[in-house]
Amino acid sequence: MTQPAQPPSAVCAADLARTEAIVHDASILDGDPADHSEKSADTWIAVSGETVIARGRGDGWKDLAASASVEVIDGAGGYLAPAFVDIHCHGAGGASAEDGRAGLDTILAVHRRHGTRALALSYVSDTIDGLCRSLTAGAELVRDRSEVIGLHAEGPFLAPDFKGAHAAEVLTAPTPEAVEAILAAADGTLAQITIAAELPGALDAIARLTSAGVRVALGHTAADYDQAAAAFDAGASILTHAFNAMPGIHHRAPGPILAAREAEHVTVELINDGVHVVAPAARMLRELVPGRIALITDAMAATGMSDGDYMLGSLPVRVEDSVARLVTADGSVGAIAGSTLTMGEAVRRAVTEVGMSPSEAVQAAGLVPLRALGLTAGQAAGPTDGSAGRSGNGPAGRSEDGPAPGNDGPAALLAPGMPADLLLLDRDMSIRRTWYSH
């Protein structure tokens, strides 16, 4: 259910004294999409420093605005949303996850401008030794920076025929030795790993990784329906960028997408840029897996930059009209190579082109991806005292037995006491203003 409105009488004198900003006349989008209506557009939120201190409905906010130092912002009938979370992001601003600490601030700055408060750093396929070096460096970032909620190894356990923008020479099967090396290098910070289910040893690897608290994603795969279903039965719980780098849907060969549809614990990633997946297919996916779509960017270094030549791992990429493609040996462009998408644009398209409600789109960019990694609202939000807040088994203190997507109801990410990570959106879903607690 939606967060109960807070009556003016519940606002204490201490809140009055420390209120810094109030946003009113804006619908708060952190409840159940089924409960949202335009009548809720008179809700308000009060912020002090890094924390949401009050919220309510009606004109109770006026009691908090008594001081001339309080900034009062008219939401003009727009939306207040929790800031976005991206669980599949390779880079931005000319920097990549593989750049480690040197590139992190650049990556975060670009994505924060477009509404993303936290992300999982995604690494393209590499040799096992090379990937382990990247994960070891990334683990320090997870522990040091609350904006990094974990690491994602997209490979090298991928199918050669569906490699996309991954170097063919480093692809390999998930041997027990390779799996253990990756787990050791990540040191409890590996949030997600993408595996092709049909590779030798894949099911055993899935069992080992999930037992270590890692969410296993099926992707870059030639798996048929039965192989994909077996992977989901073994514990895989995410489908990496649906439709891309996998067999499609055929009436006699249903493939991994319909296997994910029938495995209700599976979250389905969607690169909603209109290029990787066009709108009619995205609309079909929404009907197939309602409430289980996680919007992702799959953003590479060119995100936030001009067209030109870039690198994705060891592979050259050319960006033309904001679409990234591999450069082939003869200098021509080939397969799509990541994206230059931002979460703000993905959410806007989800509403204007895919037919999601504003509340549904915001959850697909926040609560659904958080739960895909086993994160609760409180764990993922992090502390407001500047500490890293890492505890428990895995990234950001997540539980090994995190909730299945959509099964335990929505969480109020903008409840009083939660970090002030919020966005003010206009009616067209464009971002008017951002607030971040860190």
Rounded to the nearest integer, the mean pLDDT of the chain is: 87
pTM: 0.89
pLDDT (average), residues 154-163:
95
Is 88 in contact with 122 (CB distance < 8 Å)?
yes
Determine the pLDDT at residue 355: 96
Determine the pLDDT at residue 47: 93
Q: Cα 226 to the chain's mean position, in Å?
A: 28
pLDDT bracket for residue 2 (50, 70, 90): very low
Between 39 and 280, name the one with better pLDDT: 280
Short-list 342, 367, 340, 344, CA closest to 424: 344
Residue with tokens 């001009």: 306
Query: What kind and span of H or E run contains 141?
Result: helix 128-144
Q: What is the largest CA-CA distance in the chain?
A: 71
Q: Which of 135-149, 156-170, 195-209, 395-409 has the lowest mean pLDDT?
A: 395-409
**pLDDT tens string 19-53:** 889 999 999 998 766 655 555 556 899 999 889 99
pLDDT (average), residues 178-186:
98
Q: What angle do CA 173, 175, 180 make, to 5 degrees?
A: 130
Determine the pLDDT at residue 403: 36
Helix pair 202-211, 176-186: axis angle to 10 deg: 30
Residue 417, classified by CB atoms within 10 Å of its CB into exposed (0-12), middle (13-18) or buried (19+), is: exposed
Between 82 and 12, name the one with better pLDDT: 82
pLDDT (average), residues 126-134:
97
pLDDT bracket for residue 314 (50, 70, 90): confident
pLDDT (average), residues 263-287:
97
Do the bridges between strand 91-92 and strand 95-96 make them parallel or antiparallel, or are there none, so unpaired? antiparallel
Kindly tell me if the per-residue pLDDT of 67 is higher than 90: no
Do the bridges between strand 215-218 and strand 315-320 make them parallel or antiparallel, or are there none, so unpaired? unpaired
**pLDDT tens string 224-253:** 999 999 999 999 999 999 999 999 999 999
